[in-house]
């Protein structure tokens, strides 16, 4: 299997617990020793905690290069993961607060209010107006952690659903996966954008470079997706992404065009402008509405998941904008900060000979 579409390379540890987990994964499955305390301050920005969770969660996706698949269900590792999930889940609940008490019939209006009431920083607006090529590349490196496996966390919801909610999720996910055509899969469109920007396009290539808050946004999807009890939050999370995606993606596409990106480079963002406008209504009424019509007790969880998606994205945006305002990179190291021009395509001219100044 190619490095591009295969397993990621294990990232470097960021503290005592992720060191224990990473070292263990390099050997055949075995019982883990007692681990240090996992209830430190600031779980959402704790690099050790977030990397520990990511190391565990990835075993349920493609796995790690050179790591025995037997680790996926190794009991002591699952126990460690559960211990790491407790402070993470508590931090998410504290971040968003208790969801409003609404009836299933009121859910569409409540979701609309949640997704339009945000006052977080506009990362898309900044990049469209005055972001540099280097900053746009950093943004794409962060986003690659999710977009190179786009839709996968939410697909965990399919076997947990029935009826209209399941049909709606299938409809959304089919678009995300390009209706079975590799070149139309959103993950592949994003890979093409990365290539145009001169970034390493391998799956998981930028894990060592991204900070805890980037991992936290991804870990929240895995937390919701891998636990049946969180199926309501998973659908709320997806609905929030679909309902708030069109305008930012239009701005990201405009930003990349301003910086010299061609139609191929911007296709990922342009595709989401139209697709997510359609998905918004499906997610709002058929997906989430269909779920709570059958399981009204999950209404609050749907709102929690939507709020978590938006709040974590606001923290992510604030990290990038604060870093850039201070004149520093938003990444942890220089590995994902290539210099040089964009790669563009001009009809009839080999791509290697066409460049736009950075």
Do 265 and 304 lie in one domain? The reply is yes
Residues 200 and 267 in one domain: yes
Say what the pTM is: 0.93
**Are both 165 and 222 inside the same structural domain?**
yes
**At which of 62, 94, 126 does a domain end?**
94
CATH number of 311's domain: 1.20.910.10
Same domain, 122 and 269: yes
The residue range of the domain holding 26 is 16-94
Looking at the structure, do residues 305 and 269 belong to the same domain, yes or no? yes
For residue 340, tell me if it sits in a domain.
yes
Residue 9 lies in a domain: no
The number of distinct structural domains making up the chain is: 2
pLDDT tens for 120-158 read 779 999 999 999 999 999 999 999 999 999 999 999 999
Q: Is residue 11 part of a domain?
A: no
For 295, the 3-state DSSP assignment is coil
**3-state secondary structure at position 132:** coil
Helix, strand or coil, per DSSP, at residue 349: strand
| Residue 356 bridge partners (DSSP) | 342
Look at residue 336 and tell me whether its pLDDT is greater than 90.
Answer: no
- Asked if residue 330 has pLDDT above 90, the reply is yes
**What is the band of 36 on the pLDDT scale with cuts at 50, 70, 90?**
confident
- CA dist., res. 95 & res. 216, Å (int): 12
Judge if 22 and 158 occupy the same domain. Answer: no
Domain's final residue, options 76, 94, 112:
94
Tell whether 211 and 132 lie within a shared domain.
yes
Residues 40 and 163 in one domain: no
b/e map 286-300, b = 16+ CB within 10 Å: bbbbbbbeebeebbb
- Rounded mean pLDDT of the chain? 92
Domain membership flag for residue 3: no
Boundary-marking domain end, from 65, 94, 123: 94
Instruction: Note whether 302 and 172 are same-domain residues.
Output: yes
Same domain, 59 and 203: no
89 and 156 part of one domain: no
Q: Give pLDDT, residue 73.
A: 98
Tens of pLDDT, residue by residue over 45-62, are 999 999 999 999 999 999
Q: What is the pLDDT of residue 276?
A: 66
């Amino acid at each position: 299997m190619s490095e591009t579409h295969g397993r990621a390379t294990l990232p470097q540890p960021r503290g005592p617990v992720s060191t224990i987990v990473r070292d263990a994964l390099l050997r055949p499955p075995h019982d883990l020793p007692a681990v240090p305390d996992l209830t430190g301050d600031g779980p959402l920005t704790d690099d050790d905690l977030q990397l520990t969770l990511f190391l565990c969660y990835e075993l349920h996706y493609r796995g790690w290069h050179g790591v025995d698949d037997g680790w996926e269900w190794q009991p002591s590792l699952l126990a460690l993961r559960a211990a790491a999930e407790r402070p993470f889940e508590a931090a998410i609940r504290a971040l968003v607060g208790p969801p409003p008490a609404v009836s299933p019939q009121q859910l569409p209006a409540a979701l609309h209010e949640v997704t339009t009431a945000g006052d977080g920083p506009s990362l898309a607006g900044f990049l469209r107006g005055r972001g540099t090529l280097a900053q746009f590349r950093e943004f794409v490196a962060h986003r690659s952690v999710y977009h190179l496996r786009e839709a996968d966390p939410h697909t965990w919801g399919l076997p947990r659903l029935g009826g209209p909610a399941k049909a709606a999720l299938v409809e959304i996910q089919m678009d995300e996966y390009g209706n079975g055509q590799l070149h139309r899969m959103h993950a592949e469109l994003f890979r093409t954008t990365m290539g145009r920007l001169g970034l390493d396009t391998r799956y998981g290539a930028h894990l060592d470079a991204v900070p805890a808050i980037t991992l936290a946004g991804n870990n929240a999807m895995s937390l919701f997706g891998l636990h049946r009890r969180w199926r309501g939050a998973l659908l709320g999370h997806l609905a929030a992404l679909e309902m708030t995606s069109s305008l930012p993606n239009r701005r990201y596409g405009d930003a990349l065009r301003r910086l010299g990106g061609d139609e191929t480079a911007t296709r990922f963002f342009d595709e989401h402008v139209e697709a997510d406008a359609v998905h918004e209504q499906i997610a709002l009424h058929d997906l989430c509405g269909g779920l709570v019509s059958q399981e009204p007790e999950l209404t609050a969880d749907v709102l929690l998941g939507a709020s978590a998606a938006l709040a974590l994205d606001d923290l992510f945006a604030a990290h990038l904008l604060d870093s850039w305002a201070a004149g520093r990179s938003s990444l942890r190291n220089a590995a994902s900060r290539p210099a040089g021009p964009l790669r563009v395509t001009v009809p009839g001219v080999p791509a290697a000979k066409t460049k736009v100044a950075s």
